[in-house]
Amino acid sequence: MKYTYGPVPSRRLGISLGVDLVPKKVCSYDCIYCQIGRTTHQSVERREYIPASSILQDIKEALKDWENDVDYIAISGSGEPTLNLKTGEVIQGIKELTSLPLAVITNGSLLSREEVRKELLLADVVMPSLDAATPYVFHTINRPHPSLEIKDIIQGLVDFRKEYKGRIWLEILLCRGVNDAAEEIEALKEAIQAIRPDKVQLNTVVRPSVEDYAFPLTPKRLEKVRTALGEGTEIIAEFEGHGHRIPSENLEEKVIRLIQRRPVTPDDLSKILGIHDLEIIKILDKLTKEGKIKYRVFNQRLYYEVAKRA
């Protein structure tokens, strides 16, 4: 299956089955904190990058194995999903395939477009990001397509809230010294008050990022920001739960596929694949010796990534 992945443990969704709607790193942003790598095709042009029929066929096959084991279907993946012109068709198709709740994880950059907002109306949860509320900080942290303006994106979120009856969980990812100044937090608070999301979820850099200067906030600083933003704001906790054992056939291929998406720890893989951590360590050691993956230390934790990242 090319367009689904997981199930994976998520700090916000429990166990989710992920769905890709665009090829890797087709995105309207090139965020400094991205854990997948630099954007290779930056665009705001909506196209049928992957046929809806192919995506839905993959989901149908994946549900045969995992429908009873996952909490959500999550449209997210390795780029900006709403760039796929058939996003609405995919959402409609998923709703016909399963009663599982559907979440859409988006950077929110295209919600200023009425047709994009309409396509997301059937989702149970929409999880847009908003890392900045002023132009300079927006361009610094998200490095957007030149046509994008933060005021239009915020207005798109405001309009979407008026039209959408489901839940909106707004994520703000904070990088130390980039978007955590008091003035920016105040501007974000004003934007949040206009958008009226059901939740505001604070995050920070927890994995190796595309830029070495994307540093995390301390827990103490995150708590101060949470307090400043007020009621309805939470700090996203690390996921705690039990993995669902994935069949052992082609286990090395599954490990490589997961590592290709983002840097992961041995503990991540143990939870995702539902196998003992010692078994994971043996596989990682073998793949490292073969030159297929490599490791590095970030925030005092060991992460594995592909040997040659795009």
Q: Where are the domains of the chain?
A: 4-235, 251-306
- Residues 196-214 as b/e (b if ≥16 CB within 10 A, e otherwise) read ebebbbbbbbbbbbbbeeb
CB 155 within 8 A of CB 112: yes
Considering only CA atoms, give the Rg of the chain: 19
Domain 4-235 identical in fold to domain 251-306: no
What fold characterizes domain 251-306? Arc Repressor Mutant, subunit A (1.10.10)
For residue 232, what are the CA distances in angstroms to 14, 35, 61, 199, 246? 20, 27, 38, 5, 36
CATH class of 4-235: alpha beta
Distance CA 236, CA 230 (A): 15
CA torsion 81→126→240→221, rounded to 10°?
Answer: 100
Tell me the three state secondary structure of residue 219. helix
Q: Dihedral sign for Cα 270, 1, 118, 114, please.
A: positive
Q: What are the mean pLDDT values of the chain's consecutive 10-residue runs (310 residues total)? A: 78 87 94 90 96 96 87 91 98 97 98 98 98 98 98 99 98 97 98 98 89 93 95 73 49 84 83 73 87 85 77
Spacing of C-alpha 51 from chain mean position? 21
| Rounded Cα distance, 301 and 252, in Å | 22
Name the pTM for this structure. 0.80
Report the 3 state secondary structure along 119-179: HCCCCCEEEEECCCCCHHHHHHHHCCCCCCCHHHHHHHHHHHHHHCCCEEEEEEEECCCCC
Q: pLDDT at position 247, please?
A: 47
Which amino acid is residue 59, in one-letter code? I
What confidence tens digit (pLDDT) does each residue in 113-171 have? 999 999 999 999 999 999 999 999 999 999 999 999 999 999 999 999 999 999 999 99
Q: pLDDT value at position 140?
A: 98
Name the DSSP class of 111: T
What DSSP designation does 82 have? G
pLDDT of res. 270: 78
Phi, psi of 192, deg, nearest 5: -60, -40
What pLDDT sits at residue 147? 98
